[in-house]
Amino acid sequence: MGNQILVVDDDAEIREVLRVLLSSEGFQVVQAGSGEEALAYLERTGGGADLVILDVMMEGLSGYHVCLRLRERWNVPVLFLTAKSQDSDLTMGYSSGGDDYLSKPFSYPELLARVKGLMRRYQVYKGKPEAAAQEAEWCGLRVNLRGNMVWRRDEEIDLTETEYRILRLLVENRGVIFSLQNLYESVWNEPYFASSGNTVMVHIRRLREKIEDDPRRPEYIKTVWGKGYRVG
């Protein structure tokens, strides 16, 4: 049975889009159209969600108020989803107990990476059995998910922090195609500009030189022409 995600948004269309996307990845999705409905569900189930995706601007209780009340009772990871992205909004979100913040419009690969990252960190903290694995492996390439350590055929590879973050994002989301913009905004956490694509490509080239037998014919990081990069 997949992990359960509670999606809280007063926009039914956004809820449905998130339901379809997350369900396709094996997550169980419960929807709530208001903060009050979300809190009522958590009360009935004893905090029965592994993650809450919470819109900030809603009629009735705002996402901030929902998070504050949620934190009084349950230790559930909260990902804020909102069109507001000023520093003051980010501060308010984290101050109310939010764990992460994703601005609309968002890319699906970035959303999925944030969701999986939050769940993994909380599972490790709570000591769930499925969280015991702290490494991801693919065709002889092992990535430690808790620190900057990578091995290829049991030989440790020295990566920079940025190279490690790129590789970890791709390995954790095997099969997902990340565009240059997806990669830049997810790894650098900055807005994407025209010159940002070159930055990503340089790092991909250096990463391939370190992990591939033949960087010109990569085994791990594949180029999907016209779309981006993927592992697997």
Domain ranges of the chain: 4-129, 133-231
Q: What number is the average pLDDT over the span 173-184?
A: 90
Q: Domain 133-231's class?
A: mainly alpha
CB 54 within 8 A of CB 67: yes
160: helix, strand or coil: coil
Q: What percent of the chain has pLDDT over 70?
A: 88
- Model confidence pLDDT, tens digit, residues 62-89: 888 998 888 888 878 889 888 765 556 6
Looking at domain 4-129, its CATH architecture is 3-Layer(aba) Sandwich (3.40)
> Is a pLDDT exceeding 60 seen at residue 126?
no
Q: Please give the structure tokens belonging to residue 228.
A: 């981006």
Please name the amino acid found at residue 98: G
Dihedral sign, Cα of residue 210, residue 183, residue 53, residue 71: positive
